[in-house]
Amino acid sequence: MLVFMSLMDLQQSQKKTVGSKQTLKAIKRGQAKVVYIALDAEKQVTQVILQACQSQGIQVIEVETMHNLGRICGIEVGCAVAAILDS
């Protein structure tokens, strides 16, 4: 249930990043609250994000597919990484 609520939070959030480049920038700037990673995304993309999250102590939530993460973010294509930003 906790993960479901977190996905709803991402869907409803006005302040979020969609995509690995924007999310990585937000992590490095200390703006990311929670990061979402699609399990079927390329590991070379997600590994950098995971390492950045670990070093910053940011919670990571895994989403089953890029397609699902993209839908949750309100886009028509798949998405490897997204984040909710601090308000």
What mean pLDDT do residues 9-33 have? 95
> Who contacts 50 (Cβ-Cβ below 8 Å, separation ≥6)?
37, 60
Q: What is the 3 state secondary structure string of 17-56? A: EECHHHHHHHHHCCCEEEEEEECCCCHHHHHHHHHHHHHH
Strand 32-38 with 59-63, pairing: parallel
Every domain of the chain and the residues it spans: 2-85
Q: What is the pLDDT of residues 27-68, one digit of tens each?
A: 999 999 999 999 999 999 999 999 999 999 999 999 999 999
Residue 40 structure tokens: 């079927």
**Single pTM value for the model:** 0.91
**Cα 34 to the center of its chain, rounded Å:** 7
Hey, what amino acid is at 3? Answer: V
Fold annotation for 2-85: 60s Ribosomal Protein L30; Chain: A; (3.30.1330)
pLDDT in the model for residue 1: 42
User: How confident is the model at residue 64, as a pLDDT?
Assistant: 96
